[in-house]
Amino acid sequence: GETYYGSVGIPDATFNPEKWNQDNPSQPQLKIYQSVTKFVDDLMTSGEKNGIAFDFEKDCEPCAFSPESGYQAAEKLRRRSPDLTGIFAISDAMAFGAIRLYRDQELNVPGDISVLGFNGISYVRYYSPRLATIRQDVATLAWKSVDDLLLRISYGSPAVHEKLPYEYMEGESVAPPRK
């Protein structure tokens, strides 16, 4: 664990996954949103139990799922919270953008700041430093999302929230805890 961490990519308070799914039936986001939100809640609870402060308003920066947005969000976080020792990005692509920002600012990942991604895409093995990430079974997530969408379209079923298993994939972007 880090001594002070932030996050990039958490949807802002105006994001409504139910409305998104109604307006964009071919691009369901509810399960992904719920899965990430649950993981972030677990992460925050774990941090609190271990004495790691997290101020959602100060230490979280919403952004889109792209390296460019991850770069911009990490830049805003850095200005607002310069003492961060680690960040969690809710997609590996956002994490790549954050790492690029830190390199541009001549910071060392993970020496100066740790970066943890989410998705476990194959590119994490080839990025430098290799990105530490949380991996979910994307095929199962996609299958369950489509199944849920078809049930809602065909039968008017309510959205279903399921907790899917995830695993930590070790990389080179996270340092040991600081004292």
Burial pattern 95-129, b for ≥16 Cβ within 10 A else e, equals: bbbbbbbbeeeeeebbeebbbbbbbbbeebeebeb
- Beta partners for 53? 4
Q: Are 118 and 36 in contact (CB under 8 A)?
A: yes
Lowest mean pLDDT among 15-24, 65-74, 119-128, 134-143: 15-24
* pTM value surpassing 0.75: no
Q: Can you tell me which residue has the tokens 């309510």?
A: 158
**Residues 6-51: tens digit of each pLDDT:** 555 544 444 455 554 555 554 444 444 445 566 667 767 777 787 7
The pLDDT of 121-142, averaged and rounded, is: 88
User: To the nearest whole number, what is the mean pLDDT of the chain?
Assistant: 78
- Beta partners for 117? 133
**Residues 73-99: tens digit of each pLDDT:** 999 999 988 888 888 888 899 999 999
